[in-house]
Amino acid sequence: MAFGDADAYARFMGRFSEPLAPAFADLVDVPPGGRVLDVGCGPGVLTAVLAERYGADRVDAIDPAAGFVEAARARLPGVDVREGSAEELPWRDDSYDAVLAQLVVHFMRDPARGLREMHRVAKPGAPLAASVWDHPGGRGPLTPFWAAVQDLDPGGVAEASAGSHEGELVRMFEEAGLTDVRGGELSVTVPMASFDEWWAPYREPAGSVGDYLATRTPAQVDALRDRCRERLGDGPFEVTAWAWVATGAATR
C-alpha cells in the first residue's frame, strides 16, 4: 500500500524524515553554482532543504508518485520536479554536481539500476549520497510498532528491505562503480507529547504498516494498539530512529 497523499506521508513518516534531511544534506559538498538532483523526492522534504541552501533554480527532483510530484511542485515552485523513476532518469550524462536519495533506495523497483542511473547523471568526481532507515536492526521509526507485532503475531513482521542492513548501502555503492565509498549512520529523536499523538497516524496507515493492518480485524488492531501503549507508556516520550548512509564519488 503506497502513501495516498503528501499530507498522509507528513503525518506518518514526515515527522522523522523532515529532521533527518538537513543532516543528510550535510554529507555532500556542492561547488559554487553547482546543480543538485534529489532522486525519489517524495513531497519535497529533502528538496526543500537543498533549495534553501543552493537556490531553487539549481535543484531538480524526481519521484514516481504523481501525488508527491504535485505536492513538491506546489511547495517549491522554482524547482524542476518531474514524474519518473530512479531507474530511468530523464537527464543527460554528467549533468549534476551532487546527487542524493533520501530514504528511497528500498522503494526502487531495481535498486542496482537506480544507483547506476544516479551515477550516470553525476559529473565525474561529483558526490552521491543515499540513506535508508535501519529497520532490520530494530532502530527505525516504525520499530515500536513492529516490536508489538512481533509480540502478538511473530510471522507478521515485514519491514526488511533493500539497502537497509548494515553495510548493504556501501556494497551497493561499490557495485554501482563509485569510488571513495564510505558508510555511516544518522539519527533523529522525535518527542511525542502522548501515546495518542504517536498512534494517530496509524489510524490512516499506509506502506507496509497499511498492508499489515489491512489483514487485521478491528479487535486485533485494538490489541496491537494496547500492546504498543504497554511498550511506550502514555507519554510524554521520545522516539529515536537511525538511518544507514553511504556516500561515494562518481567516476567514468
Distance CA 68, CA 62 (A): 9
In this structure, the strands spanning 59-63 and 80-83 are parallel
In this structure, is residue 221 part of a structural domain? no
Q: What range does the domain containing 24 cover?
A: 6-138+159-191+241-249
In this structure, the strands spanning 98-102 and 237-249 are unpaired
pLDDT for 207? 75
Distance CA 194, CA 104 (A): 29
Return the higher-pLDDT residue of 205 and 202.
202
pLDDT for 1? 44
Poorest-pLDDT segment among 163-167, 178-182, 224-228:
163-167
Amino acid identity for residue 93 in this structure: D
Mean of all residue pLDDT scores within the chain? 92
In this structure, is residue 62 part of a structural domain? yes
CB-facing half-sphere around the CA of 217: CA atoms within 13 A:
3
Mean pLDDT of 207-217: 87
Give residue-wise pLDDT tens across range 111-153.
999 999 999 999 999 999 999 999 888 899 999 999 999 999 9
Mean pLDDT of 196-225: 89
In this structure, is residue 201 part of a structural domain? no
* CATH number of the domain enclosing 70: 3.40.50.150
In this structure, is residue 228 part of a structural domain? no
Distance CA 25, CA 182 (A): 15
CB 145 within 8 A of CB 202: yes
6 — pLDDT class (breaks 50, 70, 90)? confident
Query: Which grid cell is 111?
Result: 535498486
pLDDT for 158? 65
Distance CA 121, CA 123 (A): 7
- % pLDDT > 70, the chain: 96
Amino acid identity for residue 101 in this structure: A
Query: Which grid cell is 13?
Result: 513518516
Mean pLDDT of 94-110: 95
Mean pLDDT of 98-115: 94
**Closest by Cα among 64, 97, 94, 93 to 81:** 64
pLDDT for 8? 75
pLDDT for 128? 98
In this structure, is residue 166 part of a structural domain? yes
End-to-end CA distance of the chain: 38
Per-position DSSP letters for 24-93, written without gaps between them: HHTT----TT--EEEET-TTTHHHHHHHHHH-GGGEEEEES-HHHHHHHHHH-TTSEEEE--GGG--S-T
pLDDT for 9? 80
pLDDT for 162? 65
pLDDT for 160? 56
Query: Which grid cell is 17?
Result: 524524515
4 — pLDDT class (breaks 50, 70, 90)? low
154 — pLDDT class (breaks 50, 70, 90)? confident
In this structure, is residue 235 part of a structural domain? no
Distance CA 164, CA 103 (A): 10
Grid cell 510498532 — which residue? 145
In this structure, is residue 230 part of a structural domain? no
Query: Which grid cell is 249?
Result: 564519488
The total number of structural domains in the chain stands at 1
Distance of CA 222 to the CA centre of its chain: 28
For 4, the 3-state DSSP assignment is coil
In this structure, is residue 146 part of a structural domain? no
pLDDT for 5? 67
Distance CA 108, CA 210 (A): 19
pLDDT for 15? 93
Mean pLDDT of 219-227: 96
**Whether pLDDT at 245 is above 60:** yes
46 — pLDDT class (breaks 50, 70, 90)? very high
Give the DSSP letter of residue 122.
Answer: B
